[in-house]
Amino acid sequence: MVGKSADPGSAGEMRIATPPTEIAAPVSTGPAIRVGAGFGVWLRDLIISLAISAFIIIFLYQPVKVEGTSMMPSLVDQERIFVNKFVYRLEPIERGDIVVFRYPYDPSKSYIKRVIGMAGDHIRIDAGQVYVNGEALAENYVPPEFTDSRTFPEVIVPANSYYVLGDHRSMSDDSRNFGPVNQSFIYGKAVFGYWPMDKVGRVR
C-alpha cells in the first residue's frame, strides 16, 4: 500500500477511477495524496540508503575495532578503522600492506599485521633487523622503542603465502611464531581510520 501512495502513476489511476461528477472537487483528497506520497518517497529513500549501506559493509568496507598494541604506533588499541574486503579482487597484495586475516591456529579470531614478505622471498631476522632476499629492509614505521633484538632463522615464503609482522615488534604475535599466512586466510586491507579523531585518515 505504501508503494501505491509513493508512485505518481498510482495516484493518477485513483483520479481516473473517480466518477466524472467528483473530479471537479479534488480539494479534500489532494492534501491526503500529497502527504502519502511524501511519506512514501521518504520511506523509499530510507530503504535504498540502508540497502546501499548494507552492501558497502557486507561486500566492500567493514568497520572494525583494533584490539591490542601489536601494530603501534600505526594503529593503537581500540582504534576504529575501515577494512576494504574487495580490494584484493582487483589488485594483488603488496609488501607494506596492512592486512586483516584469520588467525591460522584459530580461524575464529582475526589478526591485523603488515606484509613483509611475498611468495618466494627469503626472510631473515638478525638482531631485530629484517632482511628480504639478503637486503636489509628499511622500516620507518617501526620506531626504535618498538624494535626487537631477537634473531630468527631464514624462512622461504611458500607459494600463495605472505610473511607478516606487527609494527610493535617486541609485542607482536606474528609470522615469527606461526609462520607465513596463506592468502586464503587474508580477507581485507586496512585503509582508513575514523576514530579517535586525531587518527582520522588513511592507514599507512
Q: Are residues 48 and 93 in the same domain?
A: no
The total number of structural domains in the chain stands at 2
Q: What is the CATH number of the domain that holds 152?
A: 2.10.109.10
pLDDT tens, residue order, the chain (204 aa): 444 434 444 333 323 233 444 434 444 444 544 555 677 788 887 888 777 766 666 668 889 999 999 999 999 999 999 999 999 999 999 999 999 999 999 999 999 999 999 999 999 999 999 999 999 999 999 999 999 999 999 999 999 999 999 999 999 999 999 999 999 999 999 999 999 999 999 999
Of the listed 5, 113, 161, 172, which one is catalytic? 113
Residue environment code for 11-34, b if the CB has 16+ CB neighbours within 10 A, otherwise e: beeeeeeeeeeeeeeeeeeeeebe
Q: Are residues 8 and 43 in the same domain?
A: yes
70 flagged as catalytic = yes
Q: Is 121 exposed, middle or buried (0-12, 13-18, 19+ CB in 10 A)?
A: middle
Of the listed 5, 70, 74, 161, which one is catalytic? 70
Q: Are residues 100 and 121 in the same domain?
A: yes
pTM above 0.85, yes or no: no
Percentage of the chain lying above the pLDDT 70 cut: 78
Position 23 scores a pLDDT of 38
Could you give the angle at which helices 30-55 and 8-17 cross, rounded to 10 degrees? 150
Q: Are residues 106 and 178 in the same domain?
A: yes
Position 96 scores a pLDDT of 97
Query: Domain range for residue 82?
Result: 66-202
